[in-house]
Structure 1
Amino acid sequence: MTIAVGDKLPSATFKEKTADGPVELTTEQLFAGKKVVLFAVPGAFTPTCSLNHLPGYLENRDAILSRGVDDIAVVSVNDLHVMGAWATASGGMGKIHFLSDWDADFTKKLGLDIDLSAGTLGLRSKRYSMLVDDGVVKSLNIEDSPGQATVSAAAAMLDQL
């Protein structure tokens, strides 16, 4: 079953590479008592993710935060080191959270996993964005195609805030 507006996020633990080294972050640590924009990409360093989706959130970071959002995070079914390299290469390290859902635990619990084996990516996350308030989903925007970043783009999220 796919998560829906009004649902509480499931418990999960992510890995994140920070300037101080690797850390573990739970959904409770990330979302409790905060308003957070979370977006997911099928893969770090993939074309749509790196050229469109992520840059929009980095470019609009201040505008999003100015609308009462406490934090922004991107999640992908990639390992900690790939997500850390992506954070560094994109200039996003320290600006938003780059969360590794390395075993797709969180993604599967949300019901937002997708088999992209035909594109040699294997099990990944659908592309989506959501606004989460104190752990509860307030808006959810799922792309019909993993190669698109329109309904889940930063501009669309800004319109919802």
Structure 2
Amino acid sequence: MRSFSKISAFVSTTTLIATLALPASAMAVELSTSSPSYGDKVALVHNDYGKEVVVRGDISIDELKKMRDTISEQSRQIEELKRSSGSSSSSSGKEIDELKNKVKEQDRELDTLGRQVEELKRNSGSSSNSNSSEISNLKQKVNDQDRAMDQLKRTVEDLSRKVK
């Protein structure tokens, strides 16, 4: 980034070059060795029907400084956002993968429990009392795991939306 003194030197040099490029009869600019102040306007070279002339611009040195500071701050914020969004999306991606693996594992457990329930139903003709309590317990476990899986699926969907 340029400092104020570099901007001033650039403006002074530009003014000097523009002034020297004009014929002696057209010079209406007086050169000074004093430093510019913040309220000074920037001089511009303007083509006026084929002649290069120096005109006073509408931008002051303090406005240039404010623009530079604003751009610097916005650049810093953009870089900060890039860093923070990159790290959060990678950690969220890892969490999503872990939750997906957990859901798959619970799906397998549910399949196993479902097969056990079906087997118990087929075998329930011989001992109905003890089997019915086992079946009730298994049904309760299946229902609990169904609820847990629904909760995990909602969590995975929420995280997926946040990552996008």
Scaled by the length of structure 2, what TM-score is found?
0.22
Higher strand share: 1
Scaled by the length of structure 1, what TM-score is found?
0.22
